[in-house]
Structure 1
């Protein structure tokens, strides 16, 4: 019997598998697709944006450079000056409802507890690039991947889960559905899925234009919807505010796509050929809990929304890094009581916020007589330092904060990339998926206390190039600060935090 079966071999399922393998778990991935690659995963149709928060997650597992290389990304946009002791302002920012944000408008002073890091910026990539890197890592860690095996049945009790896929049964202690927006696991395990119905049908296609000069590059809001052209030849996206009525209701013909495109653009543009096309909607739904007994969900299986702002893949990576170490500790029998339940309590709120962010963008883009006034108002607000900084905080993935019961603003937030004087970085110390205790004052009493969790918490001591006024910081395996101390070191609160997240001390 496996420790875990993961349904879905996309980036989220693969990343989760590597997290579980780092935690000593035996893992099997069941992937419905037989082929590893497809046009939907490669550029341009498979294009995805990794936020700075996701880049940070990859950096903390030693995977960032491999993803950069596989993506052909501009490495000049990633990282910070090696000798810097303070984080620079962002160079790249996202957009809201097709309206670009200006990095110069970001108020850096309103972004606390930041330090230079190799993962300061996000990057453009593809599903193919991320999946290839994660597949290599998963295989190297001993994860088994079975392709052409869609999940068709799930039964679970208090001891195990039995999964039927490809006509075979597989038994595991836990099952995690990472099988996308139309998740079989979600349906078979009867998760409640609630949310809002769509306002538009969206289209993504690879086409040949007879007259591409009629269409501008970038996001283009019009009185009848939105269209997107990227620098990739023939790459087209559209939003048609039809209430989502067309999505998957009829064949996607060249004639239909051309009719929609002409109506949205107000031009007589002609499509010579449609090589590949698909539709989607802005339906925004989320499961009410991410766990039902021994079945859990992550990524699009747990939440769906429009692709505006490129939050989907990033949200899924956040789910995986939050769940992996908690599930591994539970499997190994070292998890404190209730640890696995914190996956829902922490990630559900983050997912709900992304869904609302998506809904707000759709509402801003919806055509109508009042739409230009609303868009102008939002544009003016986003052009202010407060507005731009607020939007940046909401989209970058670096400023989520879990409620861990402490009023300190760093506790529950992603840890700055502290760098010791000898050059060692926190991100490098996290690569094996353990917790990390940073002792900047090399306090011997704290060191002695830490030995009680030395099999679960990696210890590092010494002065930091910039300790931001802290004497010690305890970081969970997912890079979230579990405890932080100023000058007055409190061993009792450290031991409480260590026990809460890493279980009973061994001594």
Structure 2
């Protein structure tokens, strides 16, 4: 067996998975078909829960160095409807502005530092599996070869070879909307410094954000001085060769059709063409093969792809590591599909709704006006911001006994804590990627359960909460930041100790010795 785990694809999802596996003691091999790290600014940042997860891993400070923004987003879009998030008392939607090449570079550095191996210029052309492992046929600069692994995870994008070779279906639809994007320079004479608008001869002032015409829509954004992201989207009736490289001339022509005039553009640093797709893999696991990121789902709108894909990786990483290390309870790996496929369905639903709001036409224009009115209401704005962030994600949520605690299955809030070693935060307890029993009530009996049977797999922290009414007296937190078990005196199960033992066994395997 050459490797315990091979990750196919060295984008953000594959590299995040490699980091999580290496953090748990597994040494994965990452196969990336590009021979050099990519420099194309495909994405400009992370939005949603993944920003907080990076904080929980201790990575956020370094990733945020030089960033124009990190933390709650003051504004965002739901489809083409602007959201004034600064009006919220509690703004859940987190944003980290970071170019994708920098994100991939930092993730690669951290994964390699923990023992992961990245092999570039390696393309998987075929895959087969049996009861003992997976065989990969690979093409590289030196010719072909074969690699054997216990498990393989396809993080190789929308056209995933791994997904196809594993026989995993990818149902959904491809729309008619063609979107062309360019990172370009615009003449300084057209820029309005006070507002950030662009004065286009024959079209007037175009604001940052979306401008609609009866023929399509133009998007303008600027993430760094001197570079604008110009997006032209239209229901293209012209034949589109998806295999042909995108050109600046093609972007100019699309802008001209939509605006009815030219927008002077030059010096493209990146050009791309996409066709809106809505797809979700029918399963995330087929035997010893799994898929994550764009190989598992495609969303038609909304900036959710990186957040969802990297969180796929975090959910899978600790479970697959436990499987490789021989500590996984029966059925743990199956929960990857159960939990993340359901999230994929949720994200697909709200991005489809966003794509309707972004569509060209009178009906969508009226709908946008209505949504803009509705989303000026604090309660509606709070709900949508939470949905975009991922606050509604709840894994399982079924109590093992007694009443369901409100935190069960949800993200563990970043509590301020006081321990015998000094002040800390809940986020700092998860730096090592290990499960944690956090005792906030001084219940040594609960602590003893872990130390007597699970101390090799679960950390125990006794602390006092920095708030008068903490949300629980004790929390068992999974490595991915979600609550596996919670107890409060007012919501205690009939037998809290047995309830904790059951949760520990369910998620982290049998006790190391009889209790």
Task: Using structure 2 for the length normalisation, give the TM-score.
Answer: 0.88
Alpha carbons 1:194, 1:285 under 8 Å: kept: yes
Partners in 2 of 1:368 and 1:281 — Cα distance?
18
- Pick the aligned partner of 1:68 from 64, 67, 70: 64
Alpha carbons 2:186, 2:265 under 8 Å: kept: yes
Aligned-residue offset at 1:54 = 0.8
Higher strand share: 2
| Deviation per residue, 1:100-147 (Å, 9 max, x gap) | 211244364xx9xx9xxxxx8321111111111111111111111100
- Pick the aligned partner of 1:228 from 205, 219, 222: 219
The match for 1:409 is: 406
2:106 aligned with 1:133? yes
- Relative to structure 1, is the Cα distance of residues 141 and 274 closer, same or farther in structure 2, using a 3 angstrom cutoff? closer
Q: Tell me whether 95-104 or 344-353 shows the greater mean CA deviation.
A: 95-104
Aligned-residue offset at 1:199 = 3.4
2:158 aligned with 1:181? yes
Aligned-residue offset at 1:52 = 4.0
- Pick the aligned partner of 2:209 from 210, 213, 219: 219
Aligned-residue offset at 1:341 = 0.4
Alpha carbons 1:439, 1:472 under 8 Å: kept: yes
| Deviation per residue, 1:23-57 (Å, 9 max, x gap) | 2212101000001132x1xxxx3333312411111
- Relative to structure 1, is the Cα distance of residues 266 and 183 closer, same or farther in structure 2, using a 3 angstrom cutoff? same
Partners in 2 of 1:393 and 1:192 — Cα distance?
30
- Relative to structure 1, is the Cα distance of residues 243 and 493 closer, same or farther in structure 2, using a 3 angstrom cutoff? farther
Q: Tell me whether 366-375 or 136-145 shows the greater mean CA deviation.
A: 366-375
The match for 2:168 is: 191
Alpha carbons 1:244, 1:281 under 8 Å: kept: no
Partners in 1 of 2:4 and 2:478 — Cα distance?
22
Aligned residues: 478
Aligned-residue offset at 1:195 = 1.1
* Residue pairs, 1:45-444, within 5 angstroms: 45-69=41-65, 72-74=66-68, 77-78=70-71, 90=72, 92-106=74-88, 108=90, 121-166=94-139, 167-209=144-186, 213-214=199-200, 216-223=206-213, 224-231=215-222, 232=224, 233-242=227-236, 246=240, 248=242, 252-271=246-265, 276-306=270-300, 308-406=301-399, 407-421=404-418, 422-444=422-444
* Residue pairs, 1:455-494, within 5 angstroms: 455-466=456-467, 468-487=470-489, 490-494=496-500
Partners in 2 of 1:63 and 1:146 — Cα distance?
23
Task: Using structure 1 for the length normalisation, give the TM-score.
Answer: 0.89
Q: What is the root-mean-square deviation of aligned Cα atoms in Å?
A: 2.2
Aligned-residue offset at 1:404 = 3.4
Aligned-residue offset at 1:368 = 2.0
Partners in 2 of 1:478 and 1:35 — Cα distance?
30
The match for 1:18 is: 19
Alpha carbons 2:74, 2:86 under 8 Å: kept: no
Aligned-residue offset at 1:261 = 0.4
Partners in 2 of 1:335 and 1:244 — Cα distance?
53
Partners in 1 of 2:284 and 2:160 — Cα distance?
13
What is the DSSP-based 3-state SS (H/G/I as helix, E as strand, rest coil) of the residue aligned with 1:456? Answer: coil
What is the DSSP-based 3-state SS (H/G/I as helix, E as strand, rest coil) of the residue aligned with 1:370? Answer: helix
Aligned-residue offset at 1:150 = 0.8
Q: Which runs of 5+ in 2 are unaligned?
A: 191-197
Aligned-residue offset at 1:375 = 1.2
Partners in 1 of 2:44 and 2:347 — Cα distance?
16
Alpha carbons 1:247, 1:279 under 8 Å: kept: no
